[in-house]
C-alpha cells in the first residue's frame, strides 16, 4: 500500500504517532503540520552525505527558517515534504534497491524536461510527471 510506505519514508509510527494507512490519515497529518524530523528522514532516504541532505532540506525550507523552526513544518512545507516522500516511496517500491533508487531520483530524465525526479517533485505537477514516468517504467507503457 503506497500510503503506508509514504508514511514509513516520513518516519513511520515513531514520528507520526501511528501508521499512515489511508490518504485521510496522511492528509490530516499534513494539515496539522508534519514534524520537522520528517523532512530530515526523507533527505536521509535519498542521500548519505549530510551536506546533500541539508541541501535538499533547504530547498524545501529556507535555511534560516529551518534553523528557527521549532518542531512542526508549515502546511506548505508539509505538503512539499509529503510529495517528496511519496515519490521516494514509489521509486523504492519499483527499484527495491537503495543505490538504484538514488540513481533514478538524482539523475536528469528527458521525460521531465531534463530535471532529476527529485527536483521535479518539488512541485505538484513535477511530482505527477515523475509518477507517470515510474508508471511507464513499471508497466512498460511507451513514452
The pLDDT score that the predictor gives to residue 2 is: 67
Q: Per-residue pLDDT averaged across 103-108, rounded? A: 96
In the prediction, which pLDDT does 44 show?
95
Q: Please tell me which residue, 60 or 28, carries the higher pLDDT value.
A: 60
What pLDDT was estimated at residue 66? 93
- % of the chain residues with pLDDT over 70: 95
Task: For residues 42 and 133, give the distance between their C-alpha atoms in angstroms, rounded to a whole number.
Answer: 20
Distance separating alpha carbons of residues 141 and 138, to the nearest angstrom: 8
pLDDT in tens, 64-82: 999 998 899 999 999 999 9
Domain coverage including residue 93: 2-139
Task: Look at residue 133 and tell me whether its pLDDT is greater than 90.
Answer: yes
Determine the Cα–Cα distance for residues 106 and 101; give it in Å rounded to an integer.
Answer: 9
Q: What is the mean pLDDT of residues 110-115?
A: 94
4: pLDDT strictly greater than 70: no
Whether pTM > 0.85 for this model: the answer is: yes
Question: How many independent structural domains does the chain possess?
Answer: 1
Percent of the chain with pLDDT strictly greater than 90: 68
pLDDT tens per residue, range 32-50: 999 999 999 999 999 999 9
Which pLDDT value is given to residue 3?
60
* Pure H helices in the chain: 2-10, 12-16, 23-32, 36-46, 50-60, 63-68, 75-95, 98-106, 117-120, 124-139
Amino acid at each position: 500500500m503506497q500510503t503506508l510506505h509514504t508514511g514509513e519514508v516520513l518516519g513511520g509510527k515513531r514520528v507520526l504517532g501511528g501508521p499512515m494507512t489511508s490518504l485521510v490519515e496522511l492528509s490530516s497529518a499534513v494539515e496539522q503540520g508534519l514534524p520537522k524530523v520528517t523532512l530530515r528522514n526523507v533527505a536521509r532516504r535519498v542521500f548519505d552525505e549530510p551536506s546533500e541532505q541539508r541541501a535538499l532540506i533547504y530547498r524545501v525550507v529556507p535555511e534560516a527558517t529551518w534553523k528557527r523552526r521549532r518542531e512542526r513544518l508549515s502546511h506548505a512545507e508539509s505538503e512539499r515534504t509529503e510529495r517528496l516522500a511519496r515519490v521516494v516511496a514509489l521509486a523504492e517500491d519499483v527499484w527495491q534497491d537503495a543505490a538504484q533508487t538514488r540513481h533514478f531520483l538524482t539523475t536528469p530524465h528527458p521525460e521531465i524536461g531534463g530535471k532529476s525526479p527529485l527536483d521535479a517533485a518539488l512541485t505538484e505537477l513535477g511530482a505527477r510527471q515523475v509518477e507517470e514516468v515510474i508508471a511507464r517504467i513499471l508497466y512498460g507503457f511507451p513514452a
